[in-house]
Amino acid sequence: PLQSNGYDCGLWVLAQVAAVLRGCDVTNLREADMHDFRRYLQRLILRIPV
């Protein structure tokens, strides 16, 4: 998968790692998925007890 912007590279890496860990095909990731993945990560982070 390719990104067209210069600011989502870290997010792409995390999305690919998450996909691999879940046994998914990373070639199915699309740039349009990054918005949802960003929200998913936000929810995970906000659930971390401090």
Residue 40 within any structural domain of the chain: yes
Over the chain (50 residues), what is each successive 10-residue block's mean pLDDT? 84 92 88 92 94
Task: Supply the pLDDT for residue 1.
Answer: 67
Q: What tens digit of pLDDT does each residue of 16-30 get?
A: 999 999 998 888 888
Residue 41 within any structural domain of the chain: yes
Give the residue ranges of DSSP H helices in 1-50. 9-21, 33-46
Q: How far apart are CA 38 and CA 31, in angstroms?
A: 11
Residue 3 within any structural domain of the chain: no
Q: How far apart are CA 15 and CA 21, in angstroms?
A: 10
When divided into structural domains, the chain yields a total of 1
Range of the domain at 25: 9-46
Task: Supply the pLDDT for residue 5.
Answer: 86
Residue 42 within any structural domain of the chain: yes
Residue 2 within any structural domain of the chain: no
Residue 25 within any structural domain of the chain: yes
**Is the pTM for the entire model greater than 0.75?**
yes
Residue 4 within any structural domain of the chain: no
